[in-house]
A = this chain, B = another copy of it.
């Protein structure tokens, strides 16, 4: 049985309240009492129970981090950013993996609330809107990563997707490409997806370049396999295309494979650019040029924003946009 505050108080011959004051460094205390209490704490190896404290302060120093799939190389970096910032502030973090299942997502959120977390950071799925609407009624504050959803008590950290697509297209055009295809990812209305497509369209337009409708190919999934298949189809049907901009690195890596099989040299016969700049980009051959998202910072800023909201609950922030850059490697 670990020692309690009462144990310390009895052994030191003071009241519980005095021990509490020493532990929390609040109020004036005679130096002598303080020392004696501190010694007793040391001797008994006393540590305050955060559970008991949480019950009375309604403040647990814990938060929840909810995402679809920690196995996806994008997420661990975000998690690390959250964890590092949380640790600085002496918060502990519950990690929850929903597997992209909406029902489980809602259960998870409620379970976190039951555990008394002070706030939640969530990277929603494209179709989480209903869950968020339901949940935000009973729980705040919330920080959303890469998700458009305005609500009091809710903050958003969003990657500048349009800028990323624009950087990719500008670079390709600068290299002399005019017929640029896009692997646009799973056909859903995720704002990540919509905005990357939008950025691509706008950039092309800005350069006075036309886009054939079927240069933009949605994929069944955002995997290497799908990138591979889709690129095969795209380049067979439209051999005039000399560059491919992919929704993410996995699709881009699939495109790399397809070009190899089609005997098209990368980047000379076909340039390829990915998105996210995961660690996979440096491992493939040729290495992948990719739009770099500072995933660690995404998590770090999300936690930082949550801490701000925890301090000043009134805080109603407009979305924070995170800039991206283009990391140039061999594939383009």
Which A positions have Cβ atoms within 8 angstroms of B? 2, 45, 47-52, 54-55, 60-62, 65, 69-71, 73, 75-77, 79-80, 83-84, 87, 90, 92-97, 104, 108, 110-116, 138, 224, 253, 257, 260, 279-280, 282-285
Given A73-B279, A83-B96, 11 extra CB contacts under 8 A: A49-B55, A49-B116, A50-B116, A70-B76, A70-B80, A79-B97, A87-B108, A95-B95, A224-B283, A284-B285, A285-B285
From B70, B112, B279, A79 is in contact (CB under 8 Å) with B70
In the assembled complex, 20 residue pairs joining A and B whose CB atoms fall closer than 8 Å, in A order, are: A2-B138, A47-B110, A49-B116, A50-B116, A52-B55, A55-B55, A60-B115, A70-B80, A71-B76, A71-B80, A73-B73, A80-B97, A84-B97, A92-B94, A94-B94, A95-B95, A224-B283, A257-B285, A280-B283, A284-B284
Task: Tell me the bound Cα distance from A87 to B113 in angstroms.
Answer: 15
Is B93 touching A47 in the complex (CB atoms < 8 A)?
A: no
CB proximity of A83 to chain B, nearest CB, Å: 5
Which of A48, A61, A73, A92 is most buried by chain B, counting CB atoms within 10 A of its CB?
A92
For this chain, the copies found in one complex come to: 2
CB proximity of A276 to chain B, nearest CB, Å: 14
Is A95 touching B97 in the complex (CB atoms < 8 A)?
A: no
Task: Tell me the bound Cα distance from A108 to B54 in angstroms.
Answer: 19
Residues from chain B with a CB closer than 8 A to the CB of A94 are: 62, 92-95
Is B92 touching A112 in the complex (CB atoms < 8 A)?
A: yes
Which of A2, A49, A77, A110 is most buried by chain B, counting CB atoms within 10 A of its CB?
A49
Listed from nearest, the 7 A-B pairs whose CB atoms lie closest are: A95-B95, A51-B116, A70-B76, A83-B97, A50-B114, A92-B94, A71-B76
Residues from chain B with a CB closer than 8 A to the CB of A112 are: 92
CB proximity of A197 to chain B, nearest CB, Å: 25
